[in-house]
Amino acid sequence: MNMNEWSSNVNPALEVNPALEVGNQDFCKEFCLLEEMKMTLYMVTVSLLLNIALAEDCPPQWDNFKDDCYYVYQSNWYTYEEAKTVCAGKGGHLLTIDENEEDLYARGLTDSLCKVDLWIGLRNDESAGEWQWDDGSAPSYTNWAAAEPGNGDCGFLSAANVGRWKAAACSKRCGFICEKTREQSQATTIGPCVSVPVGLESGAITDAQMTASSEFPGGYDAPAGRLNNNHYHWATNFGAQTVGQWMQVDLGRPRKVSKVATQGRGYNNAWVSSYNLKYTDDGGNWLYVTDSSGNPKVFQGNTDTNSVVYQELGDDSFTSRYIRFYPVTWVTWLAMRAEIYHSK
C-alpha cells in the first residue's frame, strides 16, 4: 500500500477535531513549558554536579575550567623566566590561550581576582621572528590590546587593559597564571597519600601565621620566608647569626606534616645548609624530629641560593599545629624561604 492509499484509508473518526486541536496546542504549550523547565533544572543540576566533580580533579588551590586546571599567582614578583620555572615545578606551564572562551575566563581572573599584570606563556622568538607559545606553536587565537605587541619579547594579560594582551621586557615583574590538564593533575596529585602544600607560597598561610625568633629589618621578616618569593626572604638580624634561631609556621590546626622544602634567599649567595625541625600542638612542649638514635635529626638544606630542596619525612611524619625550622649551618647569612606539605 502506498502513502496515498494509506491516507485515504484513515478512519475519519480518528481525524483531529480542529476545536480540540487548539486546546491540545495550549495544553501542549503549558506541558512543554513545564517539561522544558524541568529539563533545564535537571541540566543545571547535572552541570553543577559535574562541575563540582571536575573541580575535585584539580589540586587544591587550582581553579577548574573545562578540561584544565589554573593557578593564579597574584604577586608581581616574577620575571617571565622565574614564572615559567615555578609553573614547570608544579607540573604545568604558563597559560596558553587557545580560544576566546579560555581568554574570557583568564581575563575574568585578571579583572575580578587581581589587579596585577599576569604573564602568559607567549614569547617573541627572535630567531623565528614571530610570537609563539612556550611549546613552540604559533597562536591560532590572539587578543592584543591596541597598538600591541609593542616593545618587549614577553606577553602578559594587562590589568590596565582589562586583561587584553601586551608585550613587555621579560625582566618585568608580574604575577602569572599556570595551567595544566586535569590528567596531568591526577598523575601528579591523586594517590593514597598525597602531599599538598599548606600554602606558604600561595598565601593560604597568612602573614600572621608566620613568626621568627629574629628578623632583619626592611621586609626580611618571617612572612617573607615563602617558597619562590623572589623579592624578599626571611633573614635574622645582625647579632642573630646563631644556632637556636627559628622560623615558625602556625598551620591553623593540627595537620599531618609529610614533607618540607627550603630555598636560599634567591640572589647573591646565602642559604641554610642544614636544619632541625621542631613541632608542638600547644605552642609549649616543642619536640624535635629525631633520628634513629633519638637525636635531633639534621636535615640537608640548600647548596645554592635558588634551588628548592625537598625533604620527605616518611616515617618521621608528624601531626601537629605548629612547626619550626631551626637552622644549624648556613652560608654567608642565616636566610631562607620554605614550604610545608601535609598529607590528605
Closest by alpha carbon to 186, among 54, 47, 337, 26?
54
What CA–CA distance (Å, rounded) separates 69 from 221? 32
Considering the complex, state which of residue 120 and residue 205 has its C-beta at the smaller distance from Ca ion: 120
On the CB side of 254, how many CA atoms lie within 13 Å of its CA? Answer: 8
Q: Are 214 and 241 in contact (CB under 8 A)?
A: no
Q: How far is the CB of 132 from Ca ion (least distance, A)?
A: 14
* C-alpha closest to that of 257 among 184, 322, 170, 174: 322
Pick out residues in 269-298 that bind Ca ion (CB under 5 A): none
The region of 57-65, 98-106, 191-199, 253-261 touching Ca ion under the rule CB under 5 A is: 98-106
Q: Minimal distance in Å, beta carbon 102 to Ca ion?
A: 5
Q: Which stretch binds Ca ion (CB under 5 A): 97-105, 203-211, 267-275, 297-305?
A: 97-105
Q: Which is nearer to Ca ion, 163 or 223 (CB)?
A: 163
Instruction: With CB under 5 A as the rule, give the number of residues binding Ca ion.
Output: 2
Q: How far is the CB of 273 from Ca ion (least distance, A)?
A: 40
For residues 176 and 87, the answer to whether their CB atoms sit within 8 Å is yes
Angle, vertex CA 219, rays to CA 73 and CA 288, nearest 5: 85
Q: CB atoms < 10 A from the CB of 318, how many?
A: 16
- One-letter amino acid of 257: V
Look up residue 278 and give its three cell numbers.
621542631
Q: Which CB, 57 or 98, lies closer to Ca ion?
A: 98
Q: What does the alpha-carbon distance between residue 310 and residue 300 come to, in Å, rounded to a whole number?
A: 9
Applying CB under 5 A, which part among 95-103, 157-165, 239-247, 281-289 lies near Ca ion? 95-103
Instruction: For residue 214, state whether it binds Ca ion (rule: CB under 5 A).
Output: no
Omega cis (within 30) before 149: yes
For Ca ion, the binding residue among 64, 75, 79, 96 (CB under 5 A) is 96
User: Which of the ranges 90-98, 168-176, 200-208, 295-303 carries the binding residues for Ca ion, by CB under 5 A?
Assistant: 90-98
Judged by CB under 5 A, which stretch of 59-67, 88-96, 221-229, 313-321 contacts Ca ion?
Answer: 88-96
Q: Which is nearer to Ca ion, 81 or 99 (CB)?
A: 99
The piece of 39-47, 89-97, 212-220, 309-317 that touches Ca ion (CB under 5 A) is 89-97
Q: How far is the CB of 224 from Ca ion (least distance, A)?
A: 32
Stretch 217-256 residues interacting with Ca ion (CB under 5 A) = none
Task: Give the nearest distance from C-beta 196 to Ca ion in angstroms.
Answer: 24
Name the 3-class secondary structure at 261.
strand
- The C-alpha atoms of residue 212 and residue 196 are separated, in whole angstroms, by 23
Rounded Cα gap, residues 339 and 61, in angstroms:
15
Closer Cβ to Ca ion, 98 or 153, answer by number? 98
Q: Which residue is nearest to Ca ion (CB)?
A: 96
| Torsion over CA: 143, 147, 108, 76 (sign) | positive
- Least Å distance between CB 147 and Ca ion? 25
Provide the binding-site residues for Ca ion, judged by CB under 5 A.
96, 98
